[in-house]
Every structure is written in structure tokens, then in C-alpha cells.
Structure 1
């Protein structure tokens, strides 16, 4: 099952966004610097930037106070990491926690958009002060590249078949897309928008905020329009694929009949066609989510044997983090960016809450209306209705955490989630990418079965 991650949240831009799972950990030595690394300082009152010491006092030693951090963002990230772990470990046992087999929305389907939303909020805090746009763009590109490479390493094949102790990478079948790759794409586009697409307008009201960042909203609208045009306008022809049903037998060929436009079902959608065309079907995720639908599993909504007369597409590879759906995921990041702008430009808690609540309510209502009129909520396709509902829900949860933690000061209740949010990348790699199981199984004596697990009486 896929796991999710996001990006660090910084105050300024010198080391702006060290991608991968975000954390807000503050280095004691670097927190006194005006520019910090992305997951390290997220001040609560962003308007109150540290003032430079006067000329007469520059020669006197001073201790620069550490700016307060937006704790609610750490808590929100930690809550999302905890939800990710819960979904990974218990999703197969409790259908309500598992991803929806196709249309619909479950608790697991919120994890990815929550992380993308956090990425957007973090970027607004990171790039609120820019000394050089070109330098900031270069650093953003490098960090996106790092996250892309990390995604290929963790999700491209290295840790497959852990239980058989046969890890490795077959370059002919490596998976090119994935969770971290999607984060990298969304982060890069949102970061470039924040660096280059904002005017010099003064912000003192809601309309002036929209004017200042109007070009970013234009980008979001263009992405949504292109996505809808491709999803509902591309012609999907018939296609076929091969799988090896028996270890010693020849691969079996399956033919899937399509020849349609605008289909959003598992077999003939444009998202899958684009991935098959650009990447090759052998480079897609080999355990498709739709294999849990009633048409493909007698144990639906869980995986299971094929029922009699199962459609030909049931065993076809399909990437839940496909290219077209990942492009649409950028919009979620841009929505989070807008919430971060409100933090940057408004200091009053009541004003922030009002300006957050309005778009949140509109997104949820609009997304549910789209689903009611036939544009189904679908995580795998990252449908427009799914984008609206999940981004709006992320806004609701963020506002609630903000009021509880940063306004009312109830930090004791969330201290563990705050810690998880500050160490999200480490937790993700250990818990969700099979690094911990690899460590337990990878050191052995004589035979791969004589490992640490056997030593403690597990798996004997």
C-alpha cells in the first residue's frame, strides 16, 4: 500500500526546501540566522521578521531571539504521518481505513492531499523573503531532483519481495512514478509559482490578497482545465498487456477493449493510457487498486482470487501516482500555498480563521456537488472533485489544529504528534519504506533465514 510524505517548512529561502517528508526541526546554531532551511523555522507571526540591529549596537554581542514556530503545521504533519502508518498497517483489516478500490473516499485517501497541502503552506513561509529569484529557483530544482531520486530508490524496486529476501532492481521493470516523485513535481511547480508569480501589491484585505497572487490562481485554473480536457477528451484505443500467470509458463496476453473518450472506469481512462504510452506498461505499479473491486476480487473490497468471468483488465498494471493525476495534484499544493499566504499577510487569529474558512467551505461544497452530478470523487485519477473535497478537508483540519495549538495553547495534548511531524522523513523511511524490515532480515549468518528475527523467535 502506498505511503505518503511531504516537505519541510522553513521561514526563509537560503536552504529553502529540503524535500522529502517535511519536518520543522530547528537547529540551535542555524535558528539564529535570518535564512533557515525549510523544515526548521515556521514562525507564528510571519509579519514580525527579525529586525537588524542598529549601527550603534552592532559591535555589542547580542543574542538574537529564536522566532516562534507555527506548531500547528508540525502537528498536522505528525497527524498525517500517524494516519499513514495506521493505513499501511491496518488498512487490509479494516475496509474503512483502506484506499477506495475506485470511486469513493476513505480515510486513507486523505493522506496524500494532506501532505501536498502541507507542502503548499510550507512554501509560503519559505519564500516570503527572497534575495535572488534565480538562486532560489536553482535550489528548488535541486531539491526536487533529490526527492525524485529518493523516490526512485525507495519505490522503484529495491525493496520488492521483502518476504522472499530477493530484493533488487530490474531496470527493465523499474517503477518511474511514485509518491515522492509526485511530491517532487508538485513542490517544484508550486515553488516556482511562489518565486516568480507574485506581484508587489500591498495586502490589507481578502481582495488585495487575491490580486497579489492572481497569476498563481491562473496557473491552478490552467492545470485544472488541461487535466479535464485530457481526461474527458482523449481517445483511448484498445490495448493489451502480458503477465506471467505461472512461474514456469510463458506470459499470457490479455486484450482490453476500449475505443472510447471520457471514460473514467478502471480499464479505459486517459490517466492509464498516458502512463502506458509514455512509460511503458512494464514500468507501472503491478498491484493495481482496482484489483479489489467486485469485478476483480471475490473478497472485495480486499484483494482476492478472480471471480468467474472477471474482466481482462483486472490484472493489468496501473500506477496510482500516474503522470496526469500527479499534474492535478499540483492544484492541492497551490491551495495550501494560499493558506500559507494568509499566515504571512495577516496576524490576527480571527481574520486568519475567517479567510481560511471561506475557501475551505467553498471547496468542500463544490467538490461534493461535482460528485453528485457525475464527476466522481476518485483518488487514483485524482479527479477534480477529489481535489476540491480533500483540499477543503485539509483546510478544515488545519484550522482546527491551529485554533487548538497556536491560539489556545493546548500543546501537551499534541506533543507526540508534533515530534512525529518534526521527524517525518525518518519515520517514513523506517516505517513505510521497509527499511526497518530490511535491517532485521538483511543481516544473517550462513543462510538468509538465520537473521535477527529468528534469533528473537520470530518467523521460526
Structure 2
């Protein structure tokens, strides 16, 4: 935990490279964190709105956009913060250490609270052989490392062709090593087969019959989201806050969404599989959203309320970890004689009473998200930032 403000947020730190700050990128990152918490903490007692739940396999919802958007934000931040002119060993040590710490945070987050409830009502220590090794932060760490190495050792013009090669290569691997006739299914795809062989079922996601949505092979495609964010951030640095640059973002975004729709019949949109059409669609939508933010915030100067999201964007890892860990704590606390945990009691006994159905679920999730935002605001006031 650091008590210093982030380097990118201080004029003194930015002075050597004279890189212009983009409020739109900060708001984009904060908005992504807000939606991530909202989607992950749907209130119990009723099914959430369809757009706030992930597609079962093929398909696309707003919830599916959140994680790739965060990876895109990681890439855009990389274009400002990653020092590619440092000596090779120093660079490799720095990015490897950061990736390893993100991976470790992910493993510890899934291990928490380190005990689990037994069928007989007793508690038992969760041993390492029961620990999930994959996850959201693990994928972020691996994608960050891969993207950082490519940014350092590839010419800028070589990144886009590498993105295409990663997607086509991943597609080819799915068909080359997947179960014949079931190459794009949950249990027959090559990614699931690799994860089961490499990690074993006990170290994977528990709810999908051996399939893990953050498995290793899908990291190839997810890295493209980070690289796309890097290219976007670099483009904005080179071309500035202009009508022309905004138009370019919007046109590129619309073009990628169209490409995704044309690609989808052959390789359907799937967040869980992280298909190529899904990557094209999410990058396209991120470019459209960012183009709109650049226009509204940078060109028109409509910055009212933007501070709410910039606070979240300044401390994303700390706020995300708090949101994931604290809800686990709430689910461990019994709520009187109801037989419910505290979070379930709030969702069912309070919010479902006020607004039965999906609206109550949304209000519960929104209340929890705003509480996490308040914690983020409190940390920001004290200039406490988690830096790895």
C-alpha cells in the first residue's frame, strides 16, 4: 500500500515525457470498475436483469463487456506508464514482478477466507490442493506480462498484425486440439482440455463441469484486448484531443463491431470462450465508448460528475479487491434466526421487500457498489493507493 498519489496523476511525474493527461481514459477506467462490482454482486432472492448476467455460452450482454473493458483500460494505462527505454534486465524484472504480484493477489483472493463450511456444519481449512489457480486477476497478470513484452520488443506497427495472429492462432488451436465435433463446446474445447491436464479439476472454476472461463488458452485472445488499449492510448497521445482523433476512434469502433457481426456466424460471440468475434466486438464497443467520452469530456468540457469515476480509476485494484473480499465476509455472518447470511438477508429481507424481482436485485448490488465507492473515496482522501 502506498501513501503517494499515482505517478500519472501528478504534473511533476508527467513532466519528463510531457504526456498529456486524458480525463476520458480515467473516467473510462473508473466506469469499468463500477460496472464490474455491480455485475459481480447481484442481490440474492431474484434473478438479475439479463443484461447484468453473463451469457450462458454464446451470446452477448452488458455484463460480458466489463472484463474485456478492464483489460483495455490496462493497455491504455500501459501506453502512458510503461517505460520501454529502461535496460532489458531492469524492464524484465519490473514487469515480471508486477505480473507475479497480480497473480498472487488473485490466488489469495480466491483462497480467502482460508476456511470453508463442511456439510456437517463444521469448518475446515482450505488446503492448497483445493485452491483455484485461475481467475480474473490471474488472467490480468498474464495478459499484462505478455502485452508488456510485445510492446517492448515489437515495433509499434507490428502490434496489430500480432493481434490478428493471436486470434487466428487461438482459433486454429481450438480446432486442432478440441474434441472433434465439439471444438467450441464447454467441455470439448481445447482450452478446457489443457486446463484439466495442466491444473486438474480441483484447481479450476467449480460451477461449469470442468470448464474455466479464465483458463490458460483463452489468455491468447484476451491479450489482444490489452494490446488494443495500448494502441488506443498511443494513438491519443500522438494525435491529441481533436475532432479528427475522436472521429477516428468512432469509425474504428464501428468497423470492429461490424467485423464481429460478420465473423460471428463462423466463430460466435462468447465471453467464456473469449472468441475472436467477442474480442472484435468488445474492442469496438470500447472505442465507441471512449470516443464518446473524449468528445463529451475533452472537447465539449462536460465534466460534471466525472470526479466520481476518476476516484475509482485512481485505485482500481484496491477497490476491486475490497469489493470481492468484503462480500465474502458478509456471506459468512449469520443474520439472526433466519438461516441466511448477512448479504442474503439484506438482498431478500430488505431489497426484495422494497422492490421484488430484478429491480430489488439491482438495488442491492447498487447499494453495495456505492459502499465500495465510498471506501474508494475515503482512501483517495487519504492518498492511499495500492501499487504493485
Q: TM-score, normalised by structure 2?
A: 0.77
Per-residue deviation, 1:111: 0.7
Query: Superposition pairs for residues 131-150 of structure 1, below 5 Å?
Result: 131-150=86-105
Counterpart among 20, 33, 36 of residue 84 in structure 1: 36
Unaligned runs of 5+ in 1: 1-17, 19-23, 35-40, 51-66, 199-212, 237-259, 289-315, 444-448
1:364 maps to 2:257: yes
Give the CA RMSD over aligned residues. 3.3
The answer to whether 1:350 aligns with 2:270 is no
The CA deviation at 1:287 is 1.3
Residues 173 and 283 of structure 1 are in contact (CA less than 8 Å); yes or no, is this contact kept in structure 2?
Answer: yes
**Per-residue CA shift, 1:351-388, capped at 9, x if unaligned?**
322332333222111111111x2311011110011010
Q: Is contact 1:120–1:337 with CA below 8 Å preserved after alignment?
A: yes
Is the Cα contact below 8 Å between 1:233 and 1:262 reproduced in 2? Answer: no
In structure 2, the CA distance between the partners of 1:132 and 1:276, relative to structure 1 (3 Å rule), is same
Give, in whole Å, the separation in 1 of the partners of 2:295 and 2:117. 43
Deviation at 1:277, TM superposition (A): 1.2
Residue in 2 that maps onto 1:272:
192
Aligned residues of 1:128 and 1:344 also touching (Cα < 8 A):
no
- Tell me the residue number matched to 1:331: 224
Q: What are the residue-to-residue correspondences of 1:52-451 with 2, within 5 Å?
A: 69-90=21-42, 92-127=47-82, 130-156=85-111, 158=113, 166=123, 168-198=125-155, 213-236=156-179, 260-261=180-181, 263-288=183-208, 316-371=209-264, 373-431=265-323, 433-435=324-326, 437-438=328-329
Structure exhibiting the larger radius of gyration computed from Cα positions: 1
- Relative contact order, higher structure (CA 8 A, sep 6+): 2
Q: Is the 8 A contact 1:224 1:328 kept in 2?
A: yes
| Residue 322 of structure 1, CA deviation | 0.7
Structure 2 residue runs of 5 or longer lacking an equivalent are 350-388
- Kept after mapping to 1: 8 A contact 2:241/2:299: no
- SS across alignment from 1:96: helix
> How many correspondences in the alignment?
334
Distance change (3 Å), C-alpha of 1:114 and 1:262: same
Change (3 A) 1:401 1:161: farther
The SS at the match of 2:52 is coil
